[in-house]
Chain A
Amino acid sequence: MRHLLTITHLTLYEAMRRRILIAALVVGAAFLTLFALGLHFVILDVTRHGNLTLVEKRVMLNALTLAGLFAASRLVVITAVLLPVDTLSGEIVSGVIQTLAAKPIRRGEIVLGKWLGHWIVMAGYLVLLVGGVLVIARLTGGFTPPHLASGVPLLLLEATVLLSVSIAGGTRLSTVTNGMMAFGLYGLAFIGNWVEQIGTFADNVAARNVGTVSSLIMPSESLWNLAAYQMQPTIMRELTATPFSPVSVPSAAMVWWAVGYIVVALLLGLQAFRKRAL
């Protein structure tokens, strides 16, 4: 456990030294500024031509906030894949890993230590971006989406799934192949979700099934849907008034599927790395 934490420490140190955190902060700050300006001008416009009902205004603010959260969670997902994409494969190719693995450390501690370090960076980034969107929504529009306590952890779970896939893939695949695989799975889930939504809307069972299968292969998009569903009022859910109101709401069991997915991905990664010639 001590060795695991040393690797985690090293990973956090690397994020700082290689200016990964600074880059993330700059992009995050730019995103939040843009979101704040956009929200400000929309609200200004609505207030000026104020013929919206209170409910309409609330739906609009919720939709805009969800749009902000959607973009924030995409940025976090991209970070979750890219941040650790070469941490193992890159160190294996360069030989850096040899001096680590020759120490009295379990190979699993290297993988899990890196996972934990990157997870902390990623979680921090998520808190910053999602927190930023929520604070801006509150300050600019006086609005806070409902059920944040269940919605935000789902966003974290979504990013954790992709982080784990990226780490596990790196135990066996080259950096480029690993990145392509992780983003490929993500893209598959994204398209699969739209097929499912349209299939549900059109009452097409086959299309729905395609979506369900894709969400089992990669549960990220289902977790976003579940999170978005949580963070909107009942009226929006029922009207499916915005692109963020899913027609087909994923089952809550998807949360457990995602947790199991993370565990299995990491176990496969650990197994592959344990056997790997370094």
Chain B
Amino acid sequence: MIAAVETRGLRKRFGDKVAVEELTLTVPRGEVFGFLGPNGAGKTTSLKMLLGLIEPTAGQGQVLGAPIGDRLARARVGFLPEHFRFQEWLTGRELLHFHGRLYGLRGSDLAARTDELLGRVDLLDAAHRPVRTYSKGMMQRIGLAQALLARPDLVFLDEPTSGLDPLGRLLVRDIIRELKAAGTTVFLNSHLLGEVEATCDRVAFVKAGRTVHELRLADEGAGIDVELRTGPLDDGARAALQTLALAGLEGRDGRVRLKVANDEALPAIARTLVQHQVALYEMKAARKSLEAWFLEVMGEEQRPG
């Protein structure tokens, strides 16, 4: 199947400044894809190139099988910009109405879709109010509804939860899950790693305008860090544990630390210890957090201070 997004060597230069050095990535259909990087890494510029808002200096790309910037393909694409702003003199309902018309929706279909989305983002009660009276969270929600008007195949969300309270974030998270369940591809720009971890199938890290690492979050490839508190380990038990570990064992303060490939290794550890009659007092398993990945990929030099 044709990928939702596919780019090869996309590059954008503004005068002397290179905003995006080289963007090569593939996002399969139906995936929730997280695009991660520090501020100024070129995330928003990349996304704008994919939407046809900025013309690339070099490189190629396709969105839903059409060359990037293709007008008709945009009918199947939703977009929530980072700092969502709209003509604030419109009411929430009018805003969705006008945007729906730009997607080619008309008549009762448009009215029904507008109501459905106002309900989904919990703005039915405020639908008659001018958008300028909305709080930041409400503004973000109406923006999200606007992005979903055309029942898109692909949705670009640029920092959709920035400035939202926890309930607002949960709503966004739920909507992303619903989109995924419906087979919609979601391209999420964010530096809120917790959000990304909770919603994305896969992430790409972008640094200085270049994708430097890709990671499948559902994968076990990242491994699981296990910490055990046990009785004394004899050589046999140590050797048996070693066969389950991805790398060497580390023992300190009566604790053993090892990295294993997947969840299946956890009961295997317990079985091994029982077989070797080693007392097991405690077993802690932790996946490597996205934050740890982020710091590792970006390097310590990216840390301010």
Contact = CB atoms under 8 A, between A and B. Distances in A.
Interface in A103-118: 103-106
Given A6-B101, A104-B75, A277-B55, A99 B89 contact: no
B98 A102 contact: no
Interface stretch (A73-81, A90-98, A249-257): A90-98
B72 interface: yes
A96 B87 contact: yes
A100 B54 contact: no
B154 to A, nearest CB: 12
Given A104-B75, A277-B54, A277-B55, A99 B84 contact: yes
A275 interface: yes
Nearest to A275: B55
Nearest to A11: B87
A87 B41 CA distance: 31
A14 B89 contact: yes
Secondary structure at chain A's binding surface: helix, strand, loop or mixed? Answer: helix
Given A6-B98, A6-B101, A277-B14, A102 B52 contact: yes
Nearest to B98: A10
A101 B102 CA distance: 10
A278 B48 contact: yes
B87 A98 contact: no
Given A6-B98, A17-B90, A106 B51 contact: no
Contacts of B93: none
A100 B82 CA distance: 14
Interface in B53-110: 53-55, 71-75, 77, 79, 81-87, 89-90, 94, 98-99, 101-104
A3 interface: yes
B104 A104 contact: yes
B53 A277 contact: yes
A278 B53 CA distance: 5
A98 B54 CA distance: 10
B99 A104 contact: no
Contact of A18 (B79, B89, B143, B146): B89
Contacts of B79: 98-99, 102
Contacts of B101: 2, 6
A102 B103 CA distance: 10
Nearest to B70: A104
Interface residues of A, number: 24
Interface in A2-25: 2-3, 6, 9-10, 13-14, 17-18
A69 B53 CA distance: 44
Nearest to B49: A277
A102 B86 CA distance: 13
Nearest to A16: B89
Interface string B136-179: 00000001001000000000000000000000000000000000
A181 to B, nearest CB: 23
A135 B89 CA distance: 35
Contact of B99 (A13, A18, A98, A103): A103
B61 to A, nearest CB: 15
A3 B146 CA distance: 17
Contacts of A105: 71, 102
Nearest to B71: A104
Contacts of A275: 55
Given A3-B102, A103-B103, A94 B85 contact: yes
Nearest to A19: B89
Nearest to A5: B101
Contacts of A14: 87, 89
A106 B75 CA distance: 12
A13 B84 CA distance: 21
A102 B84 CA distance: 13
A100 B55 CA distance: 16
A201 B197 CA distance: 81
A71 to B, nearest CB: 31
A6 B102 contact: yes
A99 B75 contact: no
14 contacts: A3-B102, A17-B90, A18-B89, A95-B83, A96-B85, A96-B87, A98-B48, A99-B86, A99-B143, A102-B74, A102-B77, A104-B103, A106-B71, A278-B53
Given A95-B82, A95-B84, A105-B71, 18 more contacts: A3-B102, A6-B101, A6-B102, A14-B87, A95-B85, A96-B86, A96-B87, A98-B79, A98-B81, A99-B79, A99-B99, A101-B52, A102-B51, A102-B77, A104-B102, A277-B14, A277-B53, A278-B54
